[in-house]
Structure 1
Amino acid sequence: MISRRNIRVKVMQTLYTVDSMSGEVKPGEPLSILNKKLEQSRQLFTYLIYFITEVARYSETAAKHRASKNLPSVEDLSVNTKIAGNEILWKIVEQPRFNPTVAEFKLKHIIDADLLKKIYLQLVESAEYKEYIEEQSRDKKSEKDILEFIFSTLLLPNDNFITHLEENFIHWDDDGEMMQQLVLAFLQKPGSYDFGEMVSKEKLEFAKSLLLTTLEKSEVTLELIKPKLKNWDADRIAALDLIILQMGVSEFLFFETIPTKVTINEYIDLAKEYSTVQSGQFVNGLLDNIHKELTLQNKINKKSYKNSTL
């Protein structure tokens, strides 16, 4: 489920962490950091999906509470619980690895019951929810749309929810953008994801290879980058920009199945999103310049990539 772009983000974050470390980096430590970051992302992703399902399932809790009043009204006894039977919700809950992963990360201990209730109450007051429960049949699109509404409209813009995430997941700021993409993609095809595995074996190998190659070929890539800096000193460039450039040049030289155009576009986007305002243009210029030079020197050798899943 995780994309090549997501992989590059995780490798970039790992390289930045390694670059920021004081003292000598121990053998195997970069891979350990990468694996930890991937696990943190798996935990955060699972929690976001878990919270969405808990908001939907809260209708049953609300119905029980209202029905248990000493003198329940007609409304108390007729709370609509359609959303608790949402077909996509149950596809998620019944996945073999969902509940075990929730238990593995102890997510039930993280959830804020008061916040959950408040978001559910906002849901039932919304026009989208009222339209959803008025429809007697279950339509695949409406089942998906109401869960997307919970996530995109009730959770992400909610300052209290974001504060809750920041307090419990220190990497939220790093992963927020990626998580939005992953959650929405997952709700489109909930059966396509294994909660016990953040990345496929093939993409994990790509992540490890990109990380280790960028580290091991650091001197080679710097030799190509430094002459292109003109009046810039390598030490004055944003650390993240230099990491992005080294990753890009590593892909040019050592990843035969990745087209150079894809590499350039991917790292321009990462620079724009994660570094400074000028970084996108800076990275674009440098990578394009280095690409032209390497091409003239016949140092870029690419194989057919049509069947590659990297």
Structure 2
Amino acid sequence: MLTRRHIRVKVMQCIYALVQSKDDSLAKQEKFLRVSMENMYVLYLLMLSLLVELHKMAVMHVGHASKKYLATADDNFPDREKFIKNRLLLQIANNESLNNELSKRKLNQWYLNEEYIKIIYKAVVASDVYQAYMNNGKDSYEDDRDVVLHLFREIIAPNEKLYEFFEDEKLTWVDDLPIVNTYLVKRLKKANESSGERFFLPALLKDQADMDYANELLTKTLLNDAKWEKEIEGKTPNWDNDRIAEIDSIILKMAICELLNFPSIPEKVTLNEYLEIAKEYSTPKSSIFINGVLDKLAKEYKTTGRLQKIGRGLQ
């Protein structure tokens, strides 16, 4: 689920938290990193279970509507039960592995905060996307999947109330939400009628090597902070260290650490990844500044032989 870029961002956030708290306990930071990464998976589970709750509310709404004597707006649809029969939603709603995971982790936020489900459900049924789906007369998995994707991207993910809810629940989720939402959209796009239960519950990390990489990047960046500071000073003669934003300084130190301590990671990958992170988490001017500093350092490391890369195509 988490890519190397996500891991880099998590390490960056962890170091930033250390700087802000002035806590120099490496053990605490390693624990913070693990918990922060695990919380991203919790957020993913909550977003997935949000679809389950919306489906439950739709079932309840249709059930109530069928008992009314007066006609409702739903009666005008060719099949007022079309949404609750949505194949993708049923795959998720009937996913026992997901239900077990939610139960094991005691993730009952939606049960305790049903008002958010009601807000989003009202927005969903009032949307043009929902209305078009209920009236189009189509009956296929592809149509079912497309409406879930459109509703998620256009109605659910951008919902400000939902954003406020996650911000109140856990502050770090503010940065995690776009990453989780993007991943969930990609996952739903790949879903098909034969997708098993585990398809919707991917592993947090590809393998142990990713966790090892995260811990090593965190540890080597922190333990060599003074060393990386000097590397930066040498390439920013006209800049006082106090003028370099903390987040820019952290990104530079992580990039330098990776260039010099991770021989299996290609130089271009490191430079491109940290430049993209700078663009997303810092200012446009900062990304230009960081790019210039890293470019100078990479050339110097090559010339002096400090940049040692192993494997084909890694130079």
- The question of a shared fold, defined as TM-score above 0.5 by the shorter chain, is answered with yes
Aligned residue type for 2:204:
M
Q: Percent identity?
A: 29
- The farther-off stretch of 117-126 and 285-294 is 117-126
User: Following superposition of structure 1 onto structure 2, how do residues 101-140 of structure 1 map, counting pairs within 5 Å?
Assistant: 101-110=101-110, 112-133=113-134, 134-140=136-142
Look up the match of 1:199: 205
Give 1:287 shift: 0.5
C-alpha spacing 1:194/1:257, structure 2 compared with 1 (3 Å): farther
In 2, Cα distance between equivalents of 1:193 and 1:238? 41
Give 1:306 shift: 7.9
* Superimposed CA distance per residue, residues 186-231 of structure 1 (whole angstroms, 9 cap, x where no aligned partner): 2123557564842232322221121112122323322321111112
Q: Is the 8 A contact 1:11 1:210 kept in 2?
A: yes
C-alpha spacing 1:294/1:75, structure 2 compared with 1 (3 Å): closer
- The SS at the match of 1:83 is coil
Asked whether 1:208 is paired with 2:215, we answer: yes
C-alpha spacing 1:54/1:305, structure 2 compared with 1 (3 Å): farther
C-alpha spacing 1:108/1:205, structure 2 compared with 1 (3 Å): same
Look up the match of 1:48: 47
CA RMSD of aligned residues (A): 2.6
* Superimposed CA distance per residue, residues 264-307 of structure 1 (whole angstroms, 9 cap, x where no aligned partner): 11111111211234210011001101000000011111122789
- The farther-off stretch of 191-200 and 166-175 is 191-200
C-alpha spacing 1:180/1:76, structure 2 compared with 1 (3 Å): closer
- The SS at the match of 1:28 is helix
Look up the match of 2:63: 64
Give 1:154 shift: 1.0
- The SS at the match of 1:213 is helix
Look up the match of 1:304: 311
Aligned residue type for 1:84:
I
Look up the match of 1:151: 152
Aligned residue type for 1:135:
G
In 2, Cα distance between equivalents of 1:76 and 1:181? 31
Aligned residue type for 2:277:
L
Q: Is the 8 A contact 1:259 1:305 kept in 2?
A: no
Look up the match of 1:176: 177
Look up the match of 1:86: 86
* Superimposed CA distance per residue, residues 111-142 of structure 1 (whole angstroms, 9 cap, x where no aligned partner): 532332232233223332233233342132x2
TM-score if structure 1 supplies the norm length? 0.87
In 2, Cα distance between equivalents of 1:222 and 1:193? 44
